[in-house]
Amino acid sequence: MVIVLSKNISSHDKEQLRSFLSERGFAVREQVFGDDDILGATGKGSVDIRELSLLPGVERVAQTSKPYELASRETKSEDTIVTIGPVKIGGSRISVIAGPCAIESREQIMETAALVRESGAVMLRGGAYKPRTSPYAFQGLGMKGLEYMKEAGDAYGMPIVTEVVSPELAQQMMPLTDMFQIGARNMQNFELLKKVGSLGKPVLLKRGPSATIEEWLLSAEYLLASGTKDVILCERGIRTFETYTRNTLDISAIPVVRKLSHLPVIVDPSHAVGIRAKVSPVALAAIAAGANGLTVEVHPRPEEALSDGPQSLYPEQFEKLMRDIEALAPVVGKELLRTPMPQTAERILVQGGFVHAEEKQATHEHGEAKNTLRIAFSGESGAYADQAIIRAFGEDSERMAVSSFKSVFDAVLEGKARFGMVPIENSLAGSVHENYDLFIRYPDIAIVGEIKLRIVHCLIGAKNASLETIRIVRSHPQGFAQCKEFLDKHPEWTLEPTNDTAGAVASIARENLTDTAAIAGEVAAQLYGLKIIKEGIETNPLNYTRFFIISRREVGNEMEVPSLLHTGAALPPGYESQVPNKASIVFSTPNEPGSLFACLKILSERGINMSKLESRPIPGKPWRYMFYVDISIPEEERIFDLAMEELKTKTEDFRFLGAYRASL
């Protein structure tokens, strides 16, 4: 039985409650569970639940039909999300942990960390102490190996997880690891569970090879009852009569445990099958079955591995697996988790040597100080996004040109740029769908500002070019769409799309072309020393592009239901004092009649104006759509918050993209 205590309970009422339970035959343990202070009452005691619920300081009593009360979904209906540094395991994310079975040397773990990080892993795994069947097998490097892995994790921005094999080592290992792993052989080592649980760190609990699901959850109960509130369950295969694979992955355990328990569940496909070629298909099957993540063994040279080489993926196999997971994730309604990488965490080959973590950290801190206000945009200098940055941040702003809209999001997420500037909509050509879709793929990116820029297109060419000499015109496809009437008058011209308008101008200057022109702005012509052949060629002079300023949400501040002025993302200089009056949200609805109407009715009834509604296909779900909505924010913030809370109950996937001041 679990007694949830009131937030303002007095020490006297708490002691009275303890005595009440003890007198009735219960053993009582107090601990923090999520956001709640609780008393766990165990044993063969007897009490009237109604009487207990009325005692001072009792908020509610949760009595479950399961012996694992703290781990049971009957006690906590919502999913637990475990946070380890920048990594969140659980909820709508798929988190991938990767690394070698065993730490063999500093060079090996540093090289592996670089490779798996580059492919998208967010946590680093590796064994410093290896419980092996044979006493003659490699047992690990001990504390020295753990020091090597901690250095690698720090260098590449990855929290680390490693197995603890005895209660005596747990305290010694604690400062060097971010999450303890309880191995399959130790799942029912109850003294170890109690010791590790009492330390309060997150714990990855592997299922024993012959354990039932209830025994597995009871082991999790030991950890929770001992003090930790963060337990991740790991299915790694059970022992059956089948001998072709190392173990038999109990894939049915994933949905079963997710129904029984609120704890996140990940899968170890490497130990489940023990055969390299089978790891990836089994990993994808686990994601399809509902796993919150994976822990995968990867080695730069598996044939040389001192432990479990036959089941370790080559780096290129792991990279392909990560791409496949990213493609599969939307089909099961999830995203692959990405976390920021330190600027200096570049891939370094073993032959070149590795710098120490402290050297990397010093370089990183210096680089961060220099690039505090760097703003990323897609294209080349002179692009309209570049002009929008100048409008928002001033002439002296440090701009960072990248090759694509996705690269803007990556730069902001990884901390290479503090902000990004991306176009979202043009008044003539419509929405920039690629950027709408990127907001779905990057849930840790928030909208923090809006800029509307008047777009005046010019036909730009070499000094001696004219309308008669032009044969080819280059521009971004949006530029062509916005100048359609002008281009229709010249059907003889060949249109060549480019990544951005300014890039089209730059290419003509670089190649010294006389028969090629570009559609871009006046600034680009001046910047690259070309002439304006014809100005104002856009179809409609009321041609505006709406840009979003984006920033990264800080760890721990991600909003499920928004608090409007606290999005968790950095605000541009001068925007801190602005009261937001507009917000952008995105959601999907149940596939049933009237579901969208029910959502819009919530906004209407609360007097919230909707200025934009657009649908986009959900990747991997044919004929299903996400709805992007721009809405006004009422003066009374609470009205908006209540509307968002209600809207979430009517939708299948609700995201708050950001609150900002509308640009006039």
Regarding the domain with residue range 458-542, which homologous superfamily does it belong to in the CATH classification? Periplasmic binding protein-like II (3.40.190.10)
Q: Could you give the strand order of the β-sheet that contains 621-632, starting from the edge strand earlier in sequence?
A: 610-618, 621-632, 582-588, 653-660
Distance CA 31, CA 41 (A): 11
329 near 287, Cβ under 8 Å? yes
515 near 473, Cβ under 8 Å? no
Please state which of the ranges 59-68, 93-102, 470-479, 580-589 shows the lowest mean pLDDT.
59-68
272 near 242, Cβ under 8 Å? no
The CATH code belonging to domain 96-334 is: 3.20.20.70
pLDDT number for residue 296: 98
Distances (CA, A) of 568 to 26, 368, 376, 551: 43, 19, 20, 9
Q: What's the per-residue H, E or C state across 280-328?
A: HHHHHHHHHCCCCEEEEEECCCHHHCCCCHHHCECHHHHHHHHHHHHHH
DSSP state letters, 513-534: -SSEEEEE-HHHHHHTT-EEEE
pLDDT tens digit string along 210-246?
A: 999 999 999 999 999 898 999 999 999 999 999 999 9
Distances (CA, A) of 615 to 549, 618, 627: 22, 9, 4
Identical topology for domains 96-334 and 375-453+545-660: no
pLDDT number for residue 198: 93
Distances (CA, A) of 613 to 118, 397, 430, 498, 609: 37, 33, 12, 29, 11
Residue 584 carries which DSSP code? E
Distance CA 182, CA 161 (A): 10
191 near 167, Cβ under 8 Å? yes
Fold assignment, 2-62: Alpha-Beta Plaits (3.30.70)
Pairing of strands 621-632, 610-618: antiparallel
Which residue, among 335, 555, 328, has the nearest Cα to 440 in the 3D structure? Answer: 335
Distance CA 431, CA 426 (A): 6
Distance CA 427, CA 543 (A): 6
Q: Which H or E run contains 475?
A: strand 472-475
Q: Which of 545, 567, 589, 651 is catalytic?
A: 545
547 is catalytic: yes
DSSP state letters, 113-158: HHHHHHHT--EEE-BSS---SSTTS----THHHHHHHHHHHHHTT-
Helices 106-119 and 315-328 cross at an angle (nearest 10°) of 30
pLDDT number for residue 348: 43
Please state which of the ranges 344-353, 426-435, 476-485 shows the lowest mean pLDDT.
344-353
Look at the chain and count its residues: 664
Q: Locate the domains of the chain by residue range.
A: 2-62, 96-334, 375-453+545-660, 458-542
pLDDT tens digit string along 299-352?
A: 999 999 999 999 999 999 999 999 899 888 877 867 788 887 775 554 443 333
> 587 — phi, psi (to 5°)?
-155, 160
Residue 592 carries which DSSP code? S
Residue 355 has pLDDT above 70, yes or no: no
Distance CA 224, CA 196 (A): 10
Tokens of 656: 């708050």
Tokens of 456: 């005046």
* Architecture of the CATH domain 375-453+545-660: 3-Layer(aba) Sandwich (3.40)
Residue 533 carries which DSSP code? E
Q: Which of 547, 587, 654, 656 is catalytic?
A: 547
> 292 — phi, psi (to 5°)?
-85, -5
419 is catalytic: no
Amino acid occupying residue 40? G
Which residue, among 68, 16, 65, has the nearest Cα to 40 in the 3D structure? Answer: 68
Q: What is the pTM of this model?
A: 0.66
Residue 132 has pLDDT above 90, yes or no: no
pLDDT tens digit string along 434-448?
A: 999 999 889 889 999
pLDDT tens digit string along 253-269?
A: 999 999 999 999 999 99
Residue 174 has pLDDT above 80, yes or no: yes
**Alpha-helix runs per DSSP H in 539-634:** 595-605
pLDDT tens digit string along 512-522?
A: 999 999 999 99
Report the phi/psi class of residue 512: left, alpha or beta, with left for phi > 0 and alpha for psi in -120 to 50.
left
Q: Which H or E run contains 36?
A: strand 36-42
Residue 261 carries which DSSP code? B
Report the phi/psi class of residue 266: left, alpha or beta, with left for phi > 0 and alpha for psi in -120 to 50.
beta
Residue 104 carries which DSSP code? -
